[in-house]
Amino acid sequence: MSFFVLTACAQEEKPNTETSRKPNIEKTEAEWKAQLTELEYEVLREEGTEKPFTGEYVDWKKEGVFVCKACGNPLFSSDTKFKSGTGWPSFFDHLGDSSVAEVADNSYGWNRTEVECWRCGSHLGHVFEDGPDPTGLRYCINSVSLEFQEK
Ligand code: FE
């Protein structure tokens, strides 16, 4: 019986909160540059941030799934999108465990949590603990990191 309890606990460990993780898709920088626009490359591969209120999906209201612009991995559902007023698409949750990875980001002297695509390691945005119910989380994501797939 104890074996099963241990197994159940092990499965509850979040695979998406590791601090050093090898992406499942690895491409050379030249390959990424050939595939992405200049802005997409800057955000996804160099951890840049698009200017607020400029992204295609800030006020997007269609129902469907947002996938990673770099690799197509499903990341966020429109069901969890909310109006944050920040100028970036905001979600209070992500899809399953293989959608995003959360990584400590101490750049610029801030203690932030970076959100990466679980599959390809591309930068998506950051997650903050000032979101709405039911999670209290706010995934602040660059539009340019996303691609929308209608339901
Ligand atoms: Fe990806």
Model pLDDT for residues 97-142, shown as the tens digit of each residue: 899 999 998 888 888 999 999 999 999 999 999 999 999 999 999 9
d(CA 6, CA 11): 9
Domain boundaries, the chain: 29-150
> How many Å lie between the centroid of ligand 1 and the Cα of residue 74?
8
> How many Å lie between the centroid of ligand 1 and the Cα of residue 3?
35
Give pLDDT tens digits for 69-108. 999 999 999 999 999 999 999 999 999 989 999 999 888 8
- Contact between residue 131 and residue 118 where contact means Cβ atoms under 8 Å apart: no
> How many Å lie between the centroid of ligand 1 and the Cα of residue 135?
23
d(CA 58, CA 20): 30
Give pLDDT tens digits for 2-52. 344 443 333 333 444 444 567 788 899 999 999 999 999 999 999 999 999
pTM of the model: 0.84
d(CA 63, CA 45): 28
68 as an active site residue: the answer is: no
For residue 90, the model assigns a pLDDT of 98
CATH topology of domain 29-150: 2.170.150
- Contact between residue 58 and residue 87 where contact means Cβ atoms under 8 Å apart: yes
- The residues, any chain, with a CB within 8 Å of residue 41's CB and separated by 6 or more, are 32, 33
